[in-house]
Structures are given as structure tokens and as C-alpha cells.
Amino acid sequence: MFYTKIAAMIRGALLFILSFLSGFPVFSQEGYLIPQEVHRIVFLGNSITYSGQYISYVETYFRLKHPDRDMEWINMGLPSETVSGLSEENHANGAFPRPDLHERLDRVFNQLKPDLVFVNYGMNDGIYLPLEQGRFQEYKDGLNWLDSRISEIEAEAIYITPPVYDPKKGAAYANVLDNYSDWLLSRRYVQEWKVIDIHWPMRHYLEEQRALDSTFYLAKDGVHPGEVGHWLMAKEILLSLGESGVRHYGDIHEAIATFPSGEKILELISKRQSLLKDAWLTSTGHLRPGMADGIPIREAEKKSKAIEEQIKKLLKIKFPDDLDERNQLENQK
């Protein structure tokens, strides 16, 4: 915990200096409001994104708070993928190299035509080896390339720092992701990127809990977070979207407890996201073996529309107290 506090102070000072020297404005963690014209939101990432809980949590809470907003939230995460294009020599026991986002991105953008893209890479990009400048540069180059491609299609981009890698599973690789996260955070100031930090909040939470219970973990394998970890990710994203009311909630269930049908809406949104995820991954294509075959996209969209109609009916149910009154109470917490 002491290390985290000292590191945070150093990072804050360095990033402040970068901001001052560049003349660029600071991107507030609570300062990005999704424009009204945004209709289709796409999430890119690896297996943590593919598993999708944090995306379901974000969409559910956001839609409960903004039931009149008409937006699609589509998960296009692909397990094992990197944005750096790197892969271990014996990845998956030699069965296949890590898929590279470069191979599929054009098809994803051509078919989905997103208005807003959330990007969450880094966990796989150091290929689980100690920090090395060549690999680090490949990660930087990959994200710079992706940013230029998002600009070319005239979409908005929001970058998310990598989730924490558990130091108990390897302090050297935990350090890699610390460095990758700090570099990505610096893009706020030197390139005006919109960057949401989930890495350091997760690292701080992990160290706090470890101080209370040495057996505590966010990810059993050091990589893939469970429900608590996905909520920590979702909470930081929601805070960055202006949803300050989530700050003191311990999990998604507590956050949606006072909304009528909140749990049912979460269930339906999770179901619809899973359906569309596999359908779109199959439609756009990829080189990752062992993935579930999605149903044809037209059939998936038909089923998705039926689920969406159920969601919209439930969203029309008002809570006992007025929505504005509840928002005011949340903001006072």
C-alpha cells in the first residue's frame, strides 16, 4: 500500500508537468458525457472484455439512469488478442499465435460503423515477460495506429488502462502493466486522448484488501477478474461518464437495487450482449480458434430486437420516487 501511495504521488506530479508543458486540458475522470448523436458503441479488447461483465454493468446502470437514450452497446472483445501484434513462441502450447487486432479491425469497422469505441488492451501485450522497451514500443505503436484508424472513421475513442495483474503471480509483469498504464494516462495530456484509469484504482483496492486478508484476490489466475473486479472496472468507467452516484456502491446489485426490475434488466442486457457478441465476431471473422459459432447476424439482430423490446418495457416502469429526486440523492452521497 505504501508503494502505491508513493507511486501515485510521483505519477500525479509527472502528469501535471506534462499537462502544463503541453498546454492541453486535463481530462477529468468524471468529465466525458456521451454525445446525443452517439448511437452505436463498440468495445474492443481481449478475453477480459470478451467475458463482458463490466460492459453489461456499464450499460445496465447507464440505461437505468438514462432510459430515454437510444444506444447500442456491442462487445467485440476477442480472447488472447493483442493490439501490439506480439505473441509468445509457445502460446497456447503451440496451438496458435495470439490473434492481432490489425488482422480484423477493418472488417469490424466496415460492418459495425461505430460512433464511439472503448479500447481496453495491455494485459496480453507484454506477453507476460518483464518490461522491455521493444515490446513496450510495439504496444505504443499499436494504440497509436488504432487511434488513427478510429479518427479515420470519424468515431470517438475512449481508452481504458489495463486491469491490474496480481503481483503475487509475478511482480515483474505487474510492473509491466504499471508502466503501460502510466504511458496511456500520459496520452491525456500530450495527445488529448480520453483515458479512463481502471488500473490504479484496482491496484489500490487489491492492496487495501490484502492488508486485511493476505489470501484476497481479484483474479484467481492473476489475469481474469471475477465479479468484484468487473464491478471496479465498470464503476470507474461510469464515474468517467458522469455517473457520480456509483462511487459508494460495493457491487452492481447494490447499484441497481432501488430500480424496479433492475436485476431483470441486467439479466436481459447480459443475454443480448452475449448473443450479439458471438454473432458479430463470427460475421466479422477472426483467427482465434476454439470460439463459439455465433448465429447469422440477421437472426441475431431479430432476437436482439425482441430482447430489447422487453428491456424498454421494463425501463418505462418508474420508481416510487421521482427519477430526478433519486439522482439528487445519489449526487449528495
Q: For 287-301, what is each residue's pLDDT tens digit?
A: 999 999 999 999 999
Task: Kindly list the domain boundaries of the chain, sorted by start residue.
Answer: 35-316
* Predicted TM-score of the model (pTM): 0.88
SS (H, E, C) the chain: CHHHHHHHHHHHHHHHHHHHHHCCCCCCCCCCCCCCCCCEEEEEECHHHHHCHHHHHHHHHHHHHCCCCCCEEEECCCCCCECCCCCCCCHHHHCCCCCEHHHHHHHHHHHHCCCEEEEECCCCCCCCCCCCHHHHHHHHHHHHHHHHHHHHCCCEEEEECCCCCCHHHCHHHHHHHHHHHHHHHHHHHHCCCEEECCHHHHHHHHHHHHHHCCCCCCCCCCCCCCHHHHHHHHHHHHHHCCCHHHCCCCCHHHHCCCCCCHHHHHHHHHHHHHHHHHHHHHHHCCCCCCCCCCCCHHHHHHHHHHHHHHHHHHHCCCCCCCHHHHHHHHHCC
35-316 has CATH 3.20.20.70 classification: no
Residue 10 clears pLDDT 70, i.e. is over it: no
pLDDT in tens, 220-274: 999 999 999 999 999 999 999 999 999 999 999 999 999 999 999 999 999 999 9
Residue 20 clears pLDDT 50, i.e. is over it: no
Closest by CA position to 149, among listed 106, 186, 194, 112:
106
pLDDT reported for residue 177: 98
